[in-house]
Amino acid sequence: MKIKVGVIFGGETVEHEVSIISAVQAMRNINKDKYDVIPIYISKERIWYSGLMLRDIEVFKDFDNLKKYANKVVLYKSNSEFYLKKVTGLFKTNIETLDIILPIVHGNNVEDGSLAGYLDTVGIPYVGSSVLGSALGQDKVVIKQILKNENIPVVDYT
């Protein structure tokens, strides 16, 4: 049985488009014999979408069309399984089960520990740093102070 990998990308950051490009490239190159790849796109408005069409970079040229055909979803846990649940339409059904999340995100509100915190709250395993590690890595001033305190050389501030 294949491992179901939810690839989360996008977000409201200035690096939104970079995240889309990175995720599409990763999804294209993940070993399909071992993994089922489920795209999970976060719009600049923080709305989560899923659908196989999100594997195609061309879809992101027409956001109105994307919103029309992709499913709005939320991530949740029930009976020790993780699901993407459709949040619009007559039937709010589970559309996909997930085993693990691969975040491919950049910038504030995603890479800074916020997304890791949400995934920890839901309880789903994910690839990457913990909430604390992500938050520290994003705060360059604090991380430089920590490294200096441990006698690790750092570049001077500008």
Listed range (9-18, 41-50, 60-69) with the worst mean pLDDT? 60-69
Q: Is the per-residue pLDDT at 109 higher than 90? A: no
Q: Out of 3.40.50.20, 3.60.20.10, 3.40.1160.10, 3.30.1490.20, which CATH number does the structure's domain 3-127 have?
A: 3.40.50.20
Residue 15, CA distances (Å) to 12, 22, 27, 79, 105 in order: 8, 11, 18, 36, 8
Residue owning tokens 């399909």? 32
User: Cα Rg for the chain, rounded, in angstroms?
Assistant: 17
| Per-residue pLDDT at 96 | 87
What is the CA angle 29-95-72, rounded to 5?
85
Q: Nearest-CA neighbor of 112 among 134, 132, 93?
A: 134
**Half-sphere exposure of residue 25: CA atoms within 13 angstroms, side-chain side:** 7
Residue type, 37: V
Pull the structure tokens for residue 128: 């990457």
Pull the structure tokens for residue 7: 């690839």
Percentage of the residues of the chain whose pLDDT score is greater than 90 = 65
pLDDT in tens, 31-56: 999 999 999 999 999 999 999 999 99
Show me where the domains of the chain are located: 3-127
Residue 6, CA distances (Å) to 26, 65, 98 in order: 12, 22, 6
| pTM of the full structure | 0.89
